[in-house]
Structure 1
């Protein structure tokens, strides 16, 4: 057995314990989730918070416009800004999908980026909202050490944070780390669009129009439209709508809200319009979607999840 095979096998063994139930398994570290899926999932709409997804077993494919992002035991996924895309999962009872999700700690990332830029010089890479990269030996070894520590309660609390920091470092200096550093620095057009995206996620329940978002980004409306689509493969108002729909689904699932109450809570003025948009977006009525979600996913009791329900 090669070193690669043995380390992958060990990571799967550890993940079987860290993610014993299907769905989202919490950890002692607030920003860490261990995910498990025992069944394949066809293309569904998802919206990730900024974060890192490392698969130990199984395969996921993300579709954003014409781009396909494959992440599996040999590739990890990085999301620098929340982008709506569709995703499918390869998994089975015999070989479940097992993944580590690390919600991005912006303070930690910024601190490390400054140190990396001082050591290596600023990056001139093109910023990306999302990318998949090969797992090299150093990142694989860091991930294995992290999983070993997380499997022991005392070590998880004491050593876990420093090992998360090590994983951040490996990614920031990795093949596409320069793109991540530039994206998180939020400079240029990418940074301006990111400011508008932050506004959408913090105020999605309020009235929002393109002019307001363009002003938030300090851009003209035509320029804002152009660069927003380049970052998200979506128009600004399509993005607002998808954000509201994802949030409404969370409210219905976690807080047992009715469709109409959830609709008004996320900024819709018409419950019937919300139901039409919801079915067009998710492919099911709100009631049918929530019934399907409850039958499909096991969710931790959180009011504000680190990763959106639809991202499993």
Structure 2
């Protein structure tokens, strides 16, 4: 058994102690979350924040446009923009799916690049490479093990955790596809504009989005906006906004027990029937069916929805 596999088995033991509830959960260290699933999931839409995702047991397969990404015990995932794509989860014979998510800290990435003396160069053709799956290497595996060890104690997590997250970010930068993080800094003007648009959508998703007005604000044509936006997200601005709204609505129904009509209004839909159609098209289930499925998956008791 090689050292990476030995580290993985130790990490699984540590993570099983922490990740008792289903789903993605915060740890005592900000920006670090545990992931657990006891049942396989079909291919469903998800929305990840910029993060480094490490699978320790089981596997996930992501689908973005025409590309497929596998992240498992041998390959981790790096996302540099909030990216909606479809994902399916596989459970192995050895137990539940277990993983760890570490948020991408742009300030830390910039500091490390300066210290390393690396000048990031934008990729050819303007493609941001927003998602990459990468083989897990020995040094990164060791840093992940130390992170999980320190997370067993809230005090050690506060004292030692930030330095280990720093090392993990460094190891990812030094990995085979560290360029995905390098390309975040510096950005050319077009890339900066697209990131501003993404942040604006996530902050103001409940407000109407007028593509022509947005393109005019950015000083580009509507077709140029669509082209540059798709280079980042593999989708159009309106489709991306729709994805954000539907995911936010699902979260409101699951966590706050809101009814579909109230959730639809909260995220910017004027027509409840349009919301229901688009929700069902995305999640392949009605709002009520999907809410109950997610609540059962993460172990929440059923509550009466606020209509």
* TM-score (structure 1 length as normaliser): 0.89
Q: 1:200 and 1:212, CA in 2 relative to 1: closer, same or farther beyond 3 A?
A: farther
Alpha-carbon separation, structure 1, partners of 2:38 and 2:247? 23
Unaligned stretches of 5+ residues in structure 1: 300-312
SS at match of 1:191: helix
Give the conservation status (yes or no) of the 8 Å contact 2:113–2:119: no
Three-state SS of the structure 2 residue aligned to 1:183 is coil
How many Å apart are 1:298 and its aligned residue? Answer: 3.9
| 1:303 corresponds to | none
Residues of 2 paired with 1:15 and 1:277: CA distance?
Answer: 37
Task: State the alpha-carbon separation in 2 of the partners of residues 84 and 185 from structure 1.
Answer: 24
For 2:129 and 2:207, the matched residues in 1 are separated by 28
Once the two structures are superposed, the pairs formed by residues 51-130 of structure 1 within 5 Å of their partners are: 51-92=51-92, 94-116=94-116, 119-123=117-121, 125=123, 127-130=128-131
Cα displacement (A) at 1:263: 0.9
Q: What CA distance in whole angstroms lies between the structure 2 residues aligned with 1:167 and 1:25?
A: 20
**Length, aligned pairs only:** 297
Q: Distance in 2 between matches of 1:93 and 1:248?
A: 34
Q: Distance in 2 between matches of 1:209 and 1:298?
A: 39
Q: How high is the TM-score relative to the length of structure 2? A: 0.91
**Residue pairs, 1:191-230, within 5 angstroms:** 191-215=192-216, 217-230=218-231
Aligned Cα root-mean-square deviation (Å): 1.8
Does structure 2 retain, via aligned residues, the 8 Å contact 1:43–1:86? Answer: yes
1:258-287 C-alpha deviation (Å, 9 max, x unpaired): 111111111111111111111111111111
Deviations 1:149-204 (A, max 9, x none): 11233211210111011111111222111232213533243332222111111111
Residues 77/287 of structure 1: CA separation in 2 closer, same or farther (3 Å cut): same
Contact conserved, 2:78 with 2:180, CA < 8 A, in 1? no
Which residues of 2 match residues 243-262 of structure 1 at below 5 A? Answer: 243-262=244-263
Given that 1:24 and 1:298 are in contact with CA atoms closer than 8 Å, whether structure 2 keeps it comes out as no
Q: CA deviation at 1:146?
A: 1.1
Distance in 2 between residues matched to 1:234 and 1:11, nearest whole Å: 36
Match of 1:11 in 2: 11
Moved more, 290-299 or 54-63: 290-299
| 1:221-256 C-alpha deviation (Å, 9 max, x unpaired) | 111111211221111111111111111111111111
Match of 2:157 in 1: 156
On the 8 A contact 1:40/1:88 being kept in 2, the answer is: yes
Q: Structure 2 unaligned runs (5+)? A: 301-307
CA gap 1:39/1:14 in 2 versus in 1, 3 angstroms: same
Rate the CA distance shift 1:294–1:283 in 2: closer, same or farther, 3 A. Answer: same
Q: Which residue number corresponds to residue 166 of structure 1?
A: 167
1:264 matched to 2:262? The reply is no
Q: Shift of residue 114 of structure 1?
A: 2.9
User: Contact 1:149 / 1:160 at 8 angstroms: preserved in 2?
Assistant: yes
Aligned-partner SS, 1:109 = helix
